[in-house]
Structure 1
Amino acid sequence: MRIRIDAVDLPGRTCAAPAGAAFPTYRNIHVAVQRRDRPAELLDPQPGDAPSATWTLPCTTAGTDVQGTDVQGPYVQHRLGRRFVYLSWGTVDEAGVFTMFRRAKLMLDAVPPRVLAAAAREGLLVGRLGLSDAHGNPLCARVEPPHITWTAGPAQPDVRRRHMTLPGATSA
């Protein structure tokens, strides 16, 4: 099975701090999928002002049981019994160094069980979401329906992915 994330409504390349906020203004914002347990390994970073962004992730599923369908893969995180995909927001400096400042967790356990079972059979789970929050900033924290819509579809041919480890990548 594959997971495809289709994102629209990206927030732009700058995230201004609200009045009185304790965080700085972020510039040259990008977003990418973070590899499990390797925050410096990012899949296909996209600029924050792109009209849309799509990532396709390889994964596997284990049979259904009392807990439902289990999804695993190199981009599927697993914390405290919950599976999710991280979208990492960061700034990219002149040297190409990505510095993460925020993440969104696309919660896989919030996928309706019938949709996940259909995706396991058909080969594709699609999550559609907007990446700007209510203030026009990069979406962060846990993302569950109705902020993301999950559907199943037929598997498609493998799409070439751009995977990179950004030099000097750090986590903020």
Structure 2
Amino acid sequence: MRIRIDAIDLPGLTCPAPADGNVSAYGNIHVAVQRRDRPAELLDPQPGDAKSATWTLECTAIASPTGTDVKGPYVQDRLGRRFIYLSWGTVDESGVFTMFRRAKLMLDVVPAEVLAAGARDGLLVARLGLTDACGNPLCARVVPPHITWTAEPAERSAAAGPTSGG
């Protein structure tokens, strides 16, 4: 199975930093999918002013007594709760990404029938906007209605383009 994340409404290249920090604003911000247990390993960072961003993750979906269990190199597992991290960071002149916040796309809120259909048909799709109510990068737990999950046939996704990028 694959999980495709379709993101729109990115916040731009700058945002205010917390008042208690040592900078007043973050600049040249980018967003990427973080690899499990490897915060520095990011999948296809996209600039914060991109029109949209899309990432496709290879996963495995296994039927379990409690439903469908999703695992993969970009699927986090903390205390039995699965999620995908979108990491926000600044990119300096030498291309170094420094994370300043993350969004958690929670997989345990995907309706069971949608998750099962995604496993059966080959593709689970997350659609969301990446700007919060204050105009900043979306962070914290992301659950409906801020994200929608659907299942689609994998063939349609294969025709849609690359496996990551925006």
TM-score (norm 1): 0.89
| 3-state SS of 1:110 partner | coil
Shift of 1:17: 3.7
Shift of 1:22: 1.8
2:120 and 2:95 map into 1 onto residues whose CA distance is 40
Does 1:96 pair with 2:99?
Answer: no
1:9 and 1:161 map into 2 onto residues whose CA distance is 18
2:31 and 2:162 map into 1 onto residues whose CA distance is 19
Number of aligned residue pairs: 159
Q: 2:162 aligns with which of 152, 159, 163?
A: 159
Does 1:150 pair with 2:153?
Answer: no
User: What do residues 131-169 of structure 1 show as CA deviations (whole Å, max 9, x unaligned)?
Assistant: 00000000000001111000000113383447xxxxxxx
Shift of 1:16: 1.8
Aligned residue in 1 for 2:106: 107
Shift of 1:68: 1.3
User: What do residues 93-144 of structure 1 show as CA deviations (whole Å, max 9, x unaligned)?
Assistant: 0011100000000000010111001101100000000000000000000001
2:88–2:99 contact (8 Å) kept in structure 1: yes
1:115 and 1:53 map into 2 onto residues whose CA distance is 22
2:84–2:106 contact (8 Å) kept in structure 1: yes
> Could you say what the CA RMSD is over the residues aligned between the two structures, in angstroms?
1.3
Give, as a single letter, the amino acid of the residue that structure 2 aligns with 1:40.
Answer: A
Identical positions, percent: 77
1:137 and 1:160 map into 2 onto residues whose CA distance is 27
Q: 1:148 to 1:161 in 2, by over 3 A?
A: closer
Does 1:3 pair with 2:3?
Answer: yes
Unaligned residue ranges in structure 1 (runs of 5+)? 163-172
Give, as a single letter, the amino acid of the residue that structure 2 aligns with 1:88.
Answer: S
2:162 and 2:48 map into 1 onto residues whose CA distance is 22
| 3-state SS of 2:108 partner | helix
Does 1:72 pair with 2:59?
Answer: no
Shift of 1:11: 0.4
1:14 and 1:97 map into 2 onto residues whose CA distance is 16
TM-score (norm 2): 0.92
Does 1:48 pair with 2:51?
Answer: no
Give, as a single letter, the amino acid of the residue that structure 2 aligns with 1:68.
Answer: G
